[in-house]
Chains A and B, each alone.
Chain A
């Protein structure tokens, strides 16, 4: 995923900051990664290289920890996140069908983010509301009994909301000119 303008600087500063706070001894690796992710939302390749350099450990070890634990993500999260539950109960009643629909509509695979960083798609293990299966978490809101039609509905809501916002934005701009 290409970095946005000015992102490189933010990454470097955050890493230096966090390393300064926690120190560079090896057992701090997981907490450092956790904090970097909290700050940036994900672990950019650049950040992992910086950490490896400063901790004087091979970059592959950092990458190893980052990919071993499910908590860490290597893609930036989208502005809106879809998490499709793939617990047993959801899978049984068509969780994969919902996931397919998202993948088809957004043209990305699970674990990826759309190029405009608007949406990201993930699969999660059981969110604990098996009675509503299949379940999708839309920005932490639970959507139950999700069919492909509902997927279209969810995306359409975001689209129309987005359009509304841009309209409002242009109106405001227009107003200031007058």
Chain B
């Protein structure tokens, strides 16, 4: 009896939502991509222009904000669905294009195909996403709805069978849910890859009146933004996953721990929670069942180490975010000493999909040891930057060269940096390893949260290693001596090397320190902090040696080892661009009319090199910093 009501209750809710969405689609619908990335690129202005122009022309159209579609290189984006035309997506939008589209497409039935990027549905006129090379590799589970639904309106999610998994869950026994998780082989996507089924089983089997669920959205890696993107584009899928988890382990209270640096994500999650509560999907007696669960947002104060689970819980309890030794595990004694399941944003999003489509379906995707997909933020020196979701087992080469479409500007590929500050730099010869937790660890990197930065010939590996170490050194909480002092010592050595003051003995000390820090640190921040150095030492030792022995930076990136020089043969006497561009007046005109740089004054800001007209290209960087004889 009770079960029937839950399903009926849901069916009514869904029918209403579908009706609302269908009525939206009867007239022209404009969806503007307004996640942080889109807004940064100017989506707000585009949306305002649409609103203004449509009002001005007296047209009948609906404009909504959606999340991120993952094609960051083409932001800001907008999707226009006009009855009678395939839904068309436009990239690189600006106010002018918005104005043109309202006039020509909405007003005159000319879709301006020359500006369109892609069509959303198969049609006879325009290519769709399936015609993109990256589509052959992509498999979207988490990002399925991102960029197509309005994250601030629960009806959009409901109309796409949202919360159906919750209804299914309520008809199952908690043990069945947990065994489905075990069968699916889902591993936590926070970085360490702990089996989700195992964690939930431990929590379920620990007797306690109160249990907690915490969603870890404290995404602190520089260069990784998939958790933010998911929360901004489709928060309900995460909330649904948390509900399923709560039902399975017997928890009644949950928190979403979001960084306060993500104001838009915080706001959208709060809106989503509010709307779910109104619909009876959160709170007491969910969908008229006996199951109760409520959610709250906790805003993190911004400390990288708080991504570590025991540190996160400490900070929620109002203390410094310092990790603790384990066991006891969080699933036994976590928040306020109660059993707590702590999973990443993506993990909860997978849970929803697994319950909907079954553990067997999930196992089919990806590899044997790591089923499912991996979400990456593909950034750096790659043509198509963006958010991609590929099955585990895809190779790095496919990711960089097929999906990312290679290195722009005819540059030479050098390495991929995977896993953020705790990850490593992998060179060309490792590109054919399949992506999963274990293979990457074997190569010296880690899966991490999924930041993937492509580096080309202009990037100095020593400087990159130093950059990441500087980050972890600053973010070290200071509890373990090796992490606190060891990283500082390593940073000093690396700084010396980038200044050309290193010695070969330094490399041995680096190696030794790295291994000691790995051993002597309590949490994963310390255990993984030396990874960038270890991998660069392993794969790019020649670059370290060039810095030390020759005082030369092969990538011409380290400031102390380069100088800027104007090649007299290339310099034309007729232009003054470099002189004007110099912020410190270091460039002067010689007696023969050519330009030259006063090395004493030069601050190596790169301005003259950028401004020198491409037909001359007279400014070059020299390393080691020795002026050629004339």
Binding site for B on A (CB under 8 A): 26-30, 34, 64-65, 68-72, 86-89, 91-92, 94, 97, 100-101, 104-105, 124-132, 135, 142, 144, 147-149, 152
**At the interface, is chain A mostly helix, strand, loop or mixed?**
helix
B323 at the interface (CB under 8 A from A): no
| Residues of chain A contacted by B40 (CB below 8 angstroms) | 127-129, 132, 135, 142, 144
Give the contacting residue for B377; candidates A130, A135, A149; CB below 8 A: A130
Are the C-beta atoms of B222 and A88 separated by less than 8 Å? yes
Encode B1-25 as 1/0 by CB contact (under 8 A) with A: 0000000000000000000000000
Encode B361-399 as 1/0 by CB contact (under 8 A) with A: 000000000000000010111000100000000000000
| Smallest CB separation, A35 vs chain B (Å) | 13
Nearest opposing residue in chain A for B316, CB measure = A30
Are the C-beta atoms of A130 and B318 separated by less than 8 Å? no
| Residues of chain A contacted by B223 (CB below 8 angstroms) | 87-89, 126, 130
A100-B603, A147-B607 are known; give 10 further A-B pairs, CB within 8 A: A34-B301, A68-B303, A86-B222, A87-B222, A88-B453, A88-B467, A128-B225, A130-B379, A131-B75, A132-B41
B:519-540 near A, CB below 8 Å: none
| Smallest CB separation, A161 vs chain B (Å) | 20
Q: With the chains together, A45 CA to B321 CA distance in Å?
A: 22
For the complex of A and B, the 9 pairs showing the least CB-CB separation, nearest first, are A69-B301, A70-B302, A88-B223, A129-B40, A71-B301, A27-B318, A87-B222, A130-B379, A142-B40
Q: With the chains together, A149 CA to B459 CA distance in Å?
A: 23
Are the C-beta atoms of A88 and B611 separated by less than 8 Å? no
**Could you tell me how many residues of chain B have their Cβ less than 8 Å away from some Cβ of chain A?**
48
| Residues of chain A contacted by B315 (CB below 8 angstroms) | 69
| Residues of chain B contacted by A34 (CB below 8 angstroms) | 301
Are the C-beta atoms of A104 and B467 separated by less than 8 Å? no
Are the C-beta atoms of A92 and B459 separated by less than 8 Å? yes
Nearest opposing residue in chain B for A124, CB measure = B261
| Residues of chain A contacted by B221 (CB below 8 angstroms) | 126
B:24-68 near A, CB below 8 Å: 36-37, 40-41
Q: Which of A29, A87, A131, A132 has the largest count of B CB atoms less than 10 A from its CB?
A: A131
Q: With the chains together, A149 CA to B581 CA distance in Å?
A: 7
Give the contacting residue for B224; candidates A27, A64, A97, A126; CB below 8 A: A126
Q: With the chains together, A125 CA to B611 CA distance in Å?
A: 28
B:202-247 near A, CB below 8 Å: 220-225, 228
Are the C-beta atoms of B379 and A89 separated by less than 8 Å? yes
Are the C-beta atoms of B36 and A26 separated by less than 8 Å? no
| Smallest CB separation, B603 vs chain A (Å) | 7
| Smallest CB separation, B473 vs chain A (Å) | 14
| Residues of chain A contacted by B455 (CB below 8 angstroms) | 92
| Residues of chain A contacted by B379 (CB below 8 angstroms) | 88-89, 130-131
| Residues of chain B contacted by A144 (CB below 8 angstroms) | 40-41
B:143-179 near A, CB below 8 Å: none
Are the C-beta atoms of B224 and A69 separated by less than 8 Å? no
| Residues of chain B contacted by A29 (CB below 8 angstroms) | 318
| Residues of chain A contacted by B477 (CB below 8 angstroms) | 68
Are the C-beta atoms of A69 and B303 separated by less than 8 Å? yes
Give the contacting residue for A88; candidates B75, B417, B583, B605; CB below 8 A: B417
Are the C-beta atoms of A131 and B73 separated by less than 8 Å? yes
B72 at the interface (CB under 8 A from A): yes
Give the contacting residue for B320; candidates A65, A124, A128, A149; CB below 8 A: A65
| Residues of chain B contacted by A89 (CB below 8 angstroms) | 223, 379-380, 453
Encode B584-612 as 1/0 by CB contact (under 8 A) with A: 10000000000000000001011100110
| Residues of chain B contacted by A148 (CB below 8 angstroms) | 581, 583, 605-607
B404 at the interface (CB under 8 A from A): no
